[in-house]
Chains A and B, each alone.
Chain A
C-alpha cells in the first residue's frame, strides 16, 4: 500500500504539541506520525507512550557469543595441543580469562552497534520528508499515512498554525543530505 508523507513545521513547542493533539483528534494513531526535533524532549511531551525496545538484548547476545568464542579459542587450543607446564592444570584459567574477557567485550561492542543500527533504523534508507529548518530549532510533525487521508492530515496540521507544510511533491521538502 502506498504511503504519503506530510511534514508540518512549527516554530515553538506549544504549536507542535497542539498539532500532535489535533492529529490524534482527527483519528491518526501515534504510529502514523513522528516528531522531528534538533534536541531531545522528555518522554511523553507530545503525548506519546514510552515504547518497548530490545536494545539490551544485543550486547547480551554479543557478549555471550564473544565469551563462547574466547572459551573455544583458549580451551580448544589447550586441549588440541596438551602441554603440561610446571605441573599446572591443562586448562589454566588465569590466562584464559584475559582472552575470554577480550572476546566478551568485542562481541558485546559489535552486537551493540548492530543493535543500534537495527533498532534506530540507521542509516535511514527509506524515504523521509525532511527540512533543514528542523536542525535550526523548528519542530517537525511528520505524518505517514494512506493517500486518501493526506488531506485530513494537512487540515489537522494547519489547526496548530504551522510555519510551513511540506508534502512529497513540494519543492522545499528535502531528504537529509547523503554522503
Chain B
C-alpha cells in the first residue's frame, strides 16, 4: 500500500512511516531481483543499440562527413538525449538545493540518467567533422581558432565528466551497501567505486555538500553546453536565423523534457520496480506542478521568438518562419506545439489530474514524444543546408529546402541510440538500488506523521 491516512484532505504517504530496516530491505530486494528482471530488456536494448551503430556505419559514415544531411538523425538522437537524459540530473540538483524531503525517493530516478552521458558525448565527437570552420560564417564563435570543434568538445567533455561525478558521488553510500551485501557479480565494481567509504560522520558531513556542489556545477555547465549546442547545431546552420531567444527556448524545453523523463521513470519503477511505497502521489503531484510550469514556459519562449519574426516581416524573417513553422516543417511544428504545450496545459490544469499518478505520467510521456518531434524538426531544418549556403557570412536563406523525410536507416539510428542509453540504465540499475537507502533512510529522521486531535499532520524537521 502506498498511501494511507489523511492530512489536509491529502493522503499521507507510507514512506515516512517505514523503518530504516524496511528501506534497506527494499534496496537489498532490488539488488537480488534486478539481474533477473532486467536481463531481457537489457538484451533487447543492446541488440537495438548494435543495429543503430551498424546503421550509422552503413549510412552516414559511408556517405562521408561532407554530406551533413545524411547525419540528420544522428544529430537528432544526440540532441534528444541531451534534452532528456542529460537534463534529468539537473532536475535532481534543483530538488536537492530546494531541500525538500519529498524529493528523496525521486533523486535516484533522475540521477541514474547521468550514466548515459557517454552516448551523446560519442555522438557529438562523430558529428563534429560535419561542421565547417567558423572563419567564414556567422556563429557564436566569431571565427575563433579551432572553433567549433575544440571548444565545443571541451565543453561536452566537462559536462560528461561532471555528470559521471555527480552520478558516482550521489551513489557512493549505496554502492558501499552493494559492496558489502550484493551478489558476488555485483561486488567487484561496487567495491572499486566505493573504496574507502565507511560511512563515518566526517564522510556524511561532506556527502550532502559535495553532491550539491557538483550538482550545481553540472547545471551551470549544462546551461552553457545547451546554449552552445543550440547555436552550433541549429542557429548557425540556418542562414538568416538571427535570434537571441532560441538558446533559452532550447534549454528551458530541455528542462521540461528532463522533468518528463523523471516522471516516466518513476512510473515505470512504481509499476514494475516494486517502488509503490516510495514513489507515491506526493512525488508525482509535485513534479506534475513543475511540468505544468515548464510547459507554460515552452509557450512563453516560443512566443517571445515568434512575435519578433512575425512583426518584423522582412523577407529573411518570413523565410525562417516558412522553414521552421509555416511550410516545410508545419506538421512537426503543430505536433510539437500540441504535445509540448497545448495538451500538457489542457490536461494538467485540472487539480484532480495533476494530483494523480496517472495524469503527470501520461503528460510526461506526451512531452517526451513532443520533445523528440521538436528536436527532429529543428535538426532536419538545420542539417538541410549545405556548407555553400552558410559560407561568406550568409545573411539569408536563399532557397527554402524540401522537408527531410527519414529513411529506415535514420529510424534505426534514432531508436538504436535511445536504446543504448536505456541499456546503460539497465546495467547501472544492477549496482544502484532503488530506493536510495542514504536518501530515504536519512529523511526518516526528519519527517513524521503525527496525530493532532482528529487530524494527522506531516511534521517536517529542519536540521539547520
One of A59, A94, A108 near B142 (C-beta < 8 A): A94
Cβ of A113 < 8 Å from any Cβ of B? yes
Smallest beta-carbon distance B294→chain A, Å:
24
Within B210-233, the residues touching A (CB, 8 Å) are 210, 213-214, 217, 220-221, 224, 228
Is A132's CB under 8 angstroms from B181's CB?
yes
The A-B contact count (CB < 8 A) is 164
Per-residue A-contact encoding for B187-203, CB less than 8 Å = 1, 0 else: 11001111111111111
Task: Contact check, A106 vs B192: say whether CB atoms are below 8 A apart.
Answer: no
- Evaluate contact between B192 and A179: CB separation under 8 angstroms: yes
**Would A108 and B191 count as touching, CB distance under 8 A?**
no
Most buried by B among A36, A48, A122: A122
- The verdict on A34 contacting B200 (CB below 8 Å), with A116-B169, A135-B180 known, is yes
- Contact A38–B437 (Cβ < 8 Å): yes
Complex formed: what's the CA distance from A136 to B27 in Å?
Answer: 11
One of A21-29, A96-104, A145-153, A162-170 at the interface: A96-104
A102 in contact with B201 (CB, 8 Å): no
The residue from B162, B181, B198, B442 contacting A39, defined by CB atoms under 8 A apart = B442
Distance from A38 Cβ to chain B, minimum over Cβ atoms (Å) = 6
Of A39, A48, A53, A99, which is within 8 A of B201 by CB? Answer: A48
**Residues of A with C-beta under 8 A to B207:** 40, 120
* Contacting residues, chain A, for B158 (C-beta < 8 A): 102, 105-106, 109
A177 at the interface (CB under 8 A from B): yes
User: Could you tell me if A92 and B194 are in contact, using CB atoms closer than 8 angstroms?
Assistant: no
Nearest CB to that of A39 among chain B residues? B441
CB distance from A93 to the nearest CB of B (A): 10
A110-139 Cβ-contact flags toward B at 8 Å (1 or 0): 001100100111111100101010111100
A35 at interface by CB-CB < 8 Å:
yes
Point out the residue from B196, B204, B206, B213 that lies within 8 Å of A176, measured CB to CB: B196
Known: A102-B158, A109-B217, A137-B20. A38 touches B199 (CB 8 A): yes
Alpha-carbon gap, A55 to B438, bound state (A) = 21
B205 interface residue, CB < 8 Å from A? yes
- The smallest beta-carbon distance between B93 and chain A, in angstroms, is 14
B293 an interface residue at 8 Å Cβ cutoff?
Answer: no
Specify which of A35, A113, A136 is in contact with B200 (CB 8 Å cutoff).
A35
CB atoms of B445 and A109 under 8 A apart? no
Judge if B141 is at the interface, Cβ distance under 8 Å.
yes
Q: List 20 A-B contacts (CB under 8 A).
A: A38-B437, A41-B204, A42-B446, A42-B461, A43-B464, A45-B445, A53-B206, A55-B209, A92-B142, A98-B228, A122-B196, A134-B199, A135-B176, A135-B180, A135-B199, A136-B181, A176-B191, A176-B195, A177-B191, A177-B195
Chain A residues close to B by CB (< 8 Å): 34-43, 45-46, 48, 51, 53, 55, 59, 77, 85, 92, 94-95, 98-99, 101-102, 105-106, 108-109, 112-113, 116, 119-125, 128, 130, 132, 134-137, 140, 142, 176-179
Interface residues in chain B, defined as those with a beta carbon under 8 Å from any beta carbon in chain A: 20-21, 24, 140-145, 151, 154-155, 158, 161-162, 165, 169, 173, 176-177, 179-181, 187-188, 191-210, 213-214, 217, 220-221, 224, 228, 437-438, 441-442, 444-446, 461, 463-464
The 3 A-B residue pairs with the shortest CB-CB distance in the complex, in nearest-first order? A179-B192, A124-B196, A123-B196
Besides A48-B201, A177-B191, 11 more A-B contacts (Cβ < 8 Å) are A34-B200, A46-B201, A53-B206, A98-B151, A102-B154, A106-B158, A134-B199, A136-B181, A137-B24, A140-B199, A176-B179
